[in-house]
Chains A and B, each alone.
Chain A
Amino acid sequence: MIALLLRDLRLAVRAGGGFGLSLAFFLIVTVLVPFGVGPEGGTLARIAPGILWVGALLACLLSLDRIFALDFEDGSLDLLATAPIPMEAVVSIKAFAHWLTTGLPLVLAAPVFGVLLNLPGPAYPWLVLSLAIGTPALSVLGAFGAALTVGLKRGGLLLSLLVLPLYVPTLLFGAELIKRGAEGGATAVPMLFLAGITAACIALVPFASAAAIRVNLR
């Protein structure tokens, strides 16, 4: 399992994978927003939590189809299916690798992008915290979408259509957590909801993803 994780990480970092790309995409989204809504600090500060979350979500979406597609094409997914670890574990590991290469960089880079959007000072710890809690769910759900569409030639657009509605609760509680943190409100409720959704996704969704992979390999 660790070997699989290392292999996926190596592939993502070396072979022109989505490693830096999704981060650059996140930067572009963040830079474009002030051009769209104008440079007034107040407006930007108000919409910053939402923009940062939507940006993170889209950046995550960008690299989803890489999770399984390449392995499906060159046949390594068949080998993994016959390997002595359950498909659920393979799916979880691959989602984890995806999180390490896209989610984690986003979490670490988000404060810098927060400065660009004039995010108020007290919001920064909450920004990092909410992204750190929420992005694993994005990767796990994304792996589910990727597993559903892995056999399709033009699966990319369909993948976003399937996955984005699943992201609604995470996005909602994540942005709400930052907003409340910035205003000094009660943060426990959205934080617990966010953590609960992530924990439930990590625990349950790999079973659905593995089922989808098995169907696609049939």
Chain B
Amino acid sequence: MSIWEYANPKKFMQTSSWALPWVTGLAVSAIVVGLIWGFFFTPEAEGFGSTVKILYVHVPAAMMAINIWAMMLVTSLIWLIRRHHVSALAAKAAAPIGLVMTLIALFTGAIWGQPMWGTWWAWDPRLTSFLILFLFYLGYMALWEAIENPDTAADLTGVLCLVGSVFALLSRYAVNFWNQGLHQGASLSLDAEENVSDIYYFPLLISIAGFILLFVALVLLRTRTEIRSRRLRALELRERAA
């Protein structure tokens, strides 16, 4: 029993059809518990008022936005090295989810930033690097859409994902440098994790778990759809040939 068994589409379909309802149920309940606990049963933080509640959506979405790209990097590598189709399709399935997570993080950040910093947007290193990540997701998805041959598309997007990962990281730290060079001391980032107290920490943790499970459920679902559409395509081709 090795993990590579799930590279077989049939095995993957069997296991995922069994796992999907469970993961979905767990995701929904974790998000519901995390958000309700966070929204209604935690005190308002001093200096933040009720805006602190955005934390429970903003932080998980931002974490997922980064980690989904990392997952795409791993699955792209698996595709490029071991040529497992399920892996390439999982990367394709994950990209739009990552894009939406990036958007959620940017929008909730803007909504949070408006009352707190007095501005919707600032060229802060974190905000900027998320915008760049958003562009990388866009480019990746556009390349998938543009190429007709699925194997060529998988190869090229895989290479793009590798190069893009390096440059996304590079941009992240380059932007850090740039901002410090321009506005000294005008740091807008809130490193809240260090001083967040347990009251906020536990619901946040549940919410993060919920977002992770939600992502797993969505990826399973979307990969299943991709596999089915691939099968349909093969059937159509066979019928046309016959």
Contacts and interface: CB of A to CB of B under 8 A. Distances in A.
Contacts of A166: 163-164, 167
B174 A172 contact: yes
B138 interface: yes
Nearest to B156: A148
Nearest to A197: B170
B143 interface: yes
A165 B132 contact: yes
Interface in B146-190: 146-147, 152, 155-156, 159-160, 162-164, 167-168, 170-171, 174-175, 177-178, 181
B96 to A, nearest CB: 16
Contacts of B170: 169, 197
A146 B207 CA distance: 42
B136 interface: yes
B32 interface: no
B122 interface: no
Interface in A144-196: 144, 148-149, 151-152, 154-155, 158, 161-162, 164-166, 168-169, 172-173, 176, 180, 189-190, 193
A77 B170 CA distance: 32
Nearest to B155: A215
Contacts, number: 78
Q: How large is the interface on A (under 10, 10 to 19, 20 to 34, 35 or more residues)?
A: 20 to 34
Given A172-B174, A193-B174, A218-B152, A148 B135 contact: no
Contacts of A162: 139, 142-143, 160
Interface in B106-152: 132, 135-136, 138-139, 142-143, 146-147, 152
A contact patch SS: helix
B175 A172 contact: yes
A211 interface: yes
B176 to A, nearest CB: 10
A107 interface: no
A205 interface: yes
A216 interface: yes
A152 B152 CA distance: 11
Contact of A155 (B138, B146, B178, B181): B146
B141 to A, nearest CB: 10
A197 B169 CA distance: 13
A165 B171 contact: yes
A208 interface: yes
A164 B138 CA distance: 12
A193 to B, nearest CB: 7
Contact of A208 (B136, B159, B175): B159
B181 A151 contact: no
Interface of B: 132, 135-136, 138-139, 142-143, 146-147, 152, 155-156, 159-160, 162-164, 167-168, 170-171, 174-175, 177-178, 181
Given A190-B177, A212-B159, 18 more contacts: A154-B146, A155-B146, A161-B142, A162-B139, A162-B160, A164-B135, A165-B164, A165-B168, A168-B171, A172-B177, A176-B177, A176-B181, A193-B174, A205-B163, A208-B163, A215-B152, A215-B156, A216-B156
18 contacts: A155-B146, A158-B139, A158-B142, A158-B143, A161-B138, A161-B142, A162-B139, A162-B142, A162-B160, A165-B136, A165-B168, A168-B167, A168-B174, A193-B177, A208-B162, A212-B155, A216-B156, A218-B152
7 A-B pairs with the lowest CB-CB distances in the bound complex, closest first:
A169-B174, A215-B155, A165-B135, A162-B139, A168-B171, A161-B139, A172-B178
